[in-house]
Amino acid sequence: MLVVSQPSPEAIGLGLNTADPTTLVIDLNCAFASIEQQQDAALRGRPVAIAAYATDAATIVSSSREARDLGIKTGMRVFEAKAIFPAVIVREPDPPLYRSVSDKLMEIIERHTPDVRRMSIDEASLNLAGTPDLKRLGPEGVGRVVKAAIREEIGECVTASVGVSTSIWMAKQASNVDKRDGLQRIDHTNLVSVFERLQLTDLSGIAEATASRLARAGILSPVQFLRATPPRLRLAGMHSEVARGWSMRLRGFEVGGFETTKRKSYSHSHVLARATASQGELEELLMRLSDMVGRRLRAAARRGRVVSVGVVYRPDAGHFSKQAKQPKPISTGDEIYLAALTLLAARDPRRTIGTLGVGLSDLVDGAGGQLDLFAQAVLPRKERLEAAVDALRDRFGEDAVQRSRLLGRAPVVRDRIAFGNTGHPDESRPNKS
């Protein structure tokens, strides 16, 4: 049932959104690690870290509750986690498993409203306005039902924090209040008191750099941010439109920022277990990475014009990157590889490379652009071949089909999940109607 609260003079004076909340954000806790614990009973109750690759230099992308309690956090390197707890269990990601759980989460929450937005692979929002469940259960009641369904249908190891508020951004802040299977509500009655317990960097979208700019304008806390006048925000370097957006967002109004749009680029990178300057080894890795990027592009029925290559040198961790626009949109591994190989030639050949990445941006849908007159007879056959290889890999795994040059080589490149998207071909999952 709905809870109706009369706005206080402070809420009115601050211009807070005094509407009754109808928006929820569902955020899976320790998502990848908890899904792995659900899948493998031997991991339950133990410190688990999911790292991009099984190397000490790899970055941890998720850690279990047990690992977090020890101080092992997302963003750490594996060797840092082992320094904290040598027996930490390190696993590589299983993207198909995580996507299946993400799809199940969407199925669960879509039972309550057609207005659902997948914000990332482990987070989604739902708007209950006008739904029978809003009147029957209330927003907190729907949150409890969703949490029970996750426990029953996904598994007891996978929990979710639920935030309830009047906008997606504010509901996300509510879900962040208790990251251990919590259910929290922020509305005009408690918004100020919640903000009083937070730091600026606790707010979604406020990183250290932004907090530093706000501090230079005398804004040191979320409450001061809430009360800041437009001139004060301009002192922090905010353009008027950005300042207006934050002013509305902090007051519980929906101003966007979580709209799901099509991806602007596709990329794939690999941290090498052993840094190398070998041209042959780098070419082979570049070939694998280019194939992976092309495969993801074709799955999304997209092409791109700008190829980019990036490297991180070891041991000094210097960077090199270069990009080039192609004459026409491309999507095949061969095309991406040839363009990337030319770019890679500009690296410093004397330095060893620890990380290599390739990407494609300036994307277009479908065939995109006009095909070259003399290439029309060739491209369809090449694309049919790529499609056949994609189908075989879909059925039998990424390493089922290999280029002759790569036969017998270790399958070093893995499917990866990028934060902020699901890795699905339909990156902008439409709301059902």
Query: Which among 230, 232, 262 is positioned nearest to 245, based on CA atoms?
Result: 230
Q: Which domains does the chain have, with CATH numbers?
A: 6-18+188-258 (1.10.150), 22-186 (3.30.70.270), 265-406 (3.30.1490.100)
- Which of 108-117, 169-178, 330-339 is least confident? 330-339
CA angle 338, 343, 345 (to 5 degrees): 100
Residue 155: alpha-carbon gap to chain centroid:
22
pLDDT tens readout for residues 49-91: 999 877 888 889 999 999 999 999 998 999 999 999 999 999 9
CB 305 within 8 A of CB 329: yes
Q: For residue 109, which of 429, 398, 331 has the smallest C-alpha distance?
A: 429
Q: Read off the pLDDT of each residue in 289-311 and give the average, rounded to a whole number.
A: 86
Nearest to 21 by CA among 149, 196, 173, 224: 173
For residue 161, what are the β-bridge partners? Answer: 27
User: 252, 191 in Cβ contact below 8 A?
Assistant: yes
Query: For the residues 205-225, what does the mean pLDDT come to?
Result: 93
Residue 66: per-residue pLDDT? 97
Q: What is the pTM of this model?
A: 0.68
Alpha helices in 110-131 (DSSP H): none
Instruction: List Cα–Cα distances, 407 to 38, 52, 118, 279, in angstroms.
Output: 35, 24, 39, 18
Q: Provide the CA 345 distance to its chain's centre, in angstroms.
A: 31
Provide the pLDDT for residue 261.
Answer: 47
Instruction: Please determine, for residue 3, whether its predicted confidence score (pLDDT) is greater than 70.
Output: no
Stated as kind and residue range, the H or E segment containing 160 is: strand 160-165
